[in-house]
């Protein structure tokens, strides 16, 4: 993953680079570094751990770098080599004149490293990136042209990369390029920027050029030149960025995650606006670019996604099959791309991704696109690589999500699936009309219900404290909420590091029940509907094994207090949309446990917000 940033201009280079890296911290945060050209020398500064360590170091060294007018920076999520200062970027060559920052993975780095070592290159780190530094330096030695050196070097690279490179002998210049990793160029006046993502530059400019794969940009303070892989000069397309810097503020909440949980009612309202006016009207989903006949005759849908987005897809499968009678397969993108999958032009392939950048999902949709399938992308980033591959694009408009743990983007993805399923059912006539109206009505009532629920979280906080010392946690559910159990468990494990697992409740007795004893909390998700009684009996099986019992329910049955140690009540909702209501308390439970344990809620260890490596 990692985040990179570059700046050429007259402002304080160190401040701009570290400011940009702060905004990219969601991409990785195990070490960071910058390289600047100051007083005719390439100077590199790196620090292990959080970005603050680098900021402190740069403050100490400010006299050494004050004259710099060009620099590149990097925030790392380790792939090759442990997170320490040596492995932190920027990396350099034997002479130390060149510096490179890299996001991605160079797959053939071992072969290249052997060849370069045979030619006398001395490697200091365990990273794949250092190969790029030596390779470009070597090509520069041959050509004395940095852009050409980058072009020749990258033609030998396999894998994914976004690169920014500076060289001591090439004043006030950054050469930037990419393949299968994001990189945009920020266009300023008398200054220019490069970055992995919009938040790193939005404070400085709203104009940007999205680089395509294999394009090379040469940035100077007053010019940006763009070249294709054959060295032909091309006209850059400057786009206006739709982002507001205010979105990155915590707005008084202790953590971004808590703020983002509280934003969910508005995320739902926002999503519905323009698509559903009243429950009696049909949905308006112009984003779906398939004509009515093709939609009517769709005989298969495949959904690919990872992590939380995969859980949204599982709910999507349930709802589409229920309303539209179209078979839906859901698969983790990382599995989908390494087996023979049967898709063709009659299959609709849906990619779901908050970031729109996840490498496995991007590869999966590219594969299906090549086989002729219509690609529908559900994403929070309409400016992402996936969005650019889409035939149909449903932007979920949840606003930038900073916390690594996905919350509001999940709810927004669920909304996208609900509206898509309702839209398809309306076209196909596959579901009872009055039942559809009831469902739409319930969707419109949801924001108020969630708002009301969010005003009373004392019981969840108390429950969180009570169970925060547990080493393990089990979440059980059935039917449409099985995905909720998985998502609840994922939230808890990723931010509190408690081992949590979600099971379909009926599976408990096929193995997991052996683990139950008086130390293990079992949280039963029991939303009213078809499987309520079934899951209640599964919960009873846990009680009989002395498990610690928590219920999450919209039932007001007083008997539950006799069975469960804690009953977490949520407002009553339609069974089919209960996954949206049920996930809110589970997000809060994970949040309060992690917060109580003093964990780094917004930036949990070992994780990154966008996973741009396979
Ligand atoms: O950006 P994506 O939705 O494609 O990311 C997929 C997963 O990495 C992501 O959902 C991850 O599981 C969440 N951050 C977990 O909260």
State if residue 333 touches ligand 1 by the CB under 6 angstroms criterion. Answer: no
Residue nearest to ligand 1 atom 12, measured at CA: 307
- Atom in ligand 1 nearest the alpha carbon of residue 310: 10
pLDDT value, residue 345: 74
| Tokens, residue 227 | 């070249």
- pTM, rounded to two decimals: 0.82
Distance 404 CA to ligand 1 centre (A): 8
Concerning whether 609 is annotated as a catalytic residue, the answer is yes
pLDDT at 246 over 60: no
Are residues 327 and 321 in contact, defined by beta-carbon separation less than 8 angstroms?
Answer: yes
Concerning whether 206 is annotated as a catalytic residue, the answer is no
3-state DSSP: the chain helix, strand, coil percent, rounded to 5?
Answer: 40, 25, 35
Query: In which residue are the tokens 């949709």 written?
Result: 365
Are residues 592 and 460 in contact, defined by beta-carbon separation less than 8 angstroms?
Answer: yes
State if residue 405 touches ligand 1 by the CB under 6 angstroms criterion. Answer: yes
Are residues 239 and 210 in contact, defined by beta-carbon separation less than 8 angstroms?
Answer: yes
Architecture of domain 458-596: 3-Layer(aba) Sandwich (3.40)
| Tokens, residue 364 | 């999966």
pLDDT value, residue 21: 96
307-347: pLDDT as tens digits: 999 999 999 999 999 999 999 999 999 999 888 888 777 88
For residue 612, what pLDDT band results from cuts at 50, 70 and 90? confident
Distance 308 CA to ligand 1 centre (A): 5
- Half-sphere exposure of residue 119: CA atoms within 13 angstroms, side-chain side: 14
For residue 21, give the nearest of 46, 38, 39, 40 by alpha carbon: 46
For residue 166, give the nearest of 213, 228, 96 by alpha carbon: 96
Sign of CA dihedral 142, 147, 150, 154: negative
State if residue 494 touches ligand 1 by the CB under 6 angstroms criterion. Answer: yes
259-316: pLDDT as tens digits: 999 999 999 999 999 999 899 999 999 999 988 888 888 889 999 999 999 999 999 9
Which is catalytic among the residues 178, 259, 449, 609? 609
Domain ranges of the chain: 3-247, 251-453, 458-596
Architecture of domain 3-247: 4-Layer Sandwich (3.60)
Residue nearest to ligand 1 atom 16, measured at CA: 405
- Atom in ligand 1 nearest the alpha carbon of residue 405: 16
CATH assignment, 251-453: 3.40.50.10490
Q: Is the peptide bond before 168 cis (omega within 30 degrees of 0)?
A: no
> Are domains 3-247 and 458-596 of this chain identical in fold?
no
- Extended strands (E) in 340-384: 347-353, 374-379
Are residues 337 and 392 in contact, defined by beta-carbon separation less than 8 angstroms?
Answer: no
- Atom in ligand 1 nearest the alpha carbon of residue 306: 6
State if residue 603 touches ligand 1 by the CB under 6 angstroms criterion. Answer: no
482-516: pLDDT as tens digits: 999 999 999 999 999 999 999 999 999 899 999 99
- Rounded to whole angstroms, the Cα distance separating 449 from 111 reads 58
- Rounded to whole angstroms, the Cα distance separating 551 from 539 reads 9
DSSP string, 258-298: HHHHHTHHHHHHHHHTTT-SSTTSPP--TT--S-HHHHHT-
């Amino acid at each position: 993953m990692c985040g990179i940033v570059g700046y050429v201009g007259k402002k304080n280079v160190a401040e701009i680079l570290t400011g940009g890296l702060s905004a990219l911290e969601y991409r990785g945060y195990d070490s960071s570094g910058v390289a600047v050209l100051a007083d005719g020398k390439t100077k590199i500064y790196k620090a292990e751990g959080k970005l603050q360590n680098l900021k402190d170091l740069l403050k100490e060294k400010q006299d050494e770098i004050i004259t710099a007018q060009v620099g590149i920076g990097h925030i790392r999520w380790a792939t090759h080599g442990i997170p320490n200062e040596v492995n932190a970027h920027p990396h350099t060559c034997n002479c130390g004149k060149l510096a490179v920052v890299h996001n991605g993975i160079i797959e053939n780095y071992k072969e290249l490293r052997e060849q370069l070592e045979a030619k006398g290159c001395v490697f200091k780190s365990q990273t794949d990136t250092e190969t790029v530094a030596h390779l470009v330096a070597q090509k520069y030695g041959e050509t004395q042209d940095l852009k050409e050196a980058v072009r020749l070097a990258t033609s030998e690279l396999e894998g994914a990369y976004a690169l920014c490179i500076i060289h001591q002998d090439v004043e006030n210049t950054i050469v930037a390029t990419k393949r299968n990793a994001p990189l945009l160029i920020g266009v300023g006046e008398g200054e220019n920027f490069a970055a992995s993502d919009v938040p790193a530059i939005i404070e400085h400019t709203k104009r940007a050029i999205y680089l395509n794969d294999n394009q090379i940009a040469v940035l100077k303070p007053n010019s940006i030149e763009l070249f294709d892989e054959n060295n032909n000069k091309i006209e850059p397309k400057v786009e206006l960025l739709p982002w507001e810097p205010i979105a990155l503020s915590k707005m008084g909440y202790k953590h971004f995650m808590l703020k983002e949980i509280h934003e969910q009612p508005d995320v739902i309202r926002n999503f519905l606006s323009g698509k559903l006016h009243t429950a009696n009207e049909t949905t308006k989903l112009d984003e779906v670019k398939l004509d009515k006949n093709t939609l009517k005759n769709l005989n298969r849908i495949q959904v690919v996604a990872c992590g939380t987005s995969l859980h949204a897809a599982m709910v999507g499968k349930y709802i589409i099959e229920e309303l539209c009678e179209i078979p839906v397969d859901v698969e983790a993108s990382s599995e989908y791309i390494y087996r023979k999958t049967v898709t063709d032009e009659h299959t609709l392939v849906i990619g779901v991704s908050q970031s729109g950048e996840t490498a496995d999902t991007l590869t999966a949709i590219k594969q299906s696109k090549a086989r002729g399938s219509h690609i529908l992308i559900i994403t929070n980033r309409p400016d992402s690589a996936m969005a650019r591959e889409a035939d149909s694009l449903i932007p979920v408009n949840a606003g930038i999500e900073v916390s690594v743990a996905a919350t509001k983007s999940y709810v927004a993805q669920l909304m996208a699936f609900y509206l898509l399923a309702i839209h398809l059912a309306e076209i196909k006539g596959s579901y009872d009309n009055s039942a559809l109206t009831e469902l739409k009505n319930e969707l419109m009532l949801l924001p108020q219900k969630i708002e009301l629920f969010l005003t009373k979280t004392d019981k969840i906080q108390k429950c969180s404290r009570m169970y925060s010392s547990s080493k393990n946690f089990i979440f059980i559910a059935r039917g449409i909420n099985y995905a909720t159990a998985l998502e609840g468990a994922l939230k808890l494990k990723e931010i509190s590091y408690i081992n949590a697992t979600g099971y379909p409740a009926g599976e408990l007795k096929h193995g997991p029940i052996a683990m139950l004893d008086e130390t293990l909390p079992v949280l039963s998700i029991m939303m009213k509907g078809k499987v309520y009684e079934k899951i209640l009996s599964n919960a009873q099986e846990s009680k009989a094994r002395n498990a610690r019992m928590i219920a999450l329910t919209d039932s007001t049955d007083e008997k539950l207090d006799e069975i469960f140690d804690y009953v977490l009540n949520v407002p009553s909702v339609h069974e089919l949309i209960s996954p949206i209501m049920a996930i809110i308390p589970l997000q809060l439970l994970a949040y309060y446990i992690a917060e109580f344990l003093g964990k780094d809620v917004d930036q949990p260890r070992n994780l990154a917000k966008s996973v741009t490596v396979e």
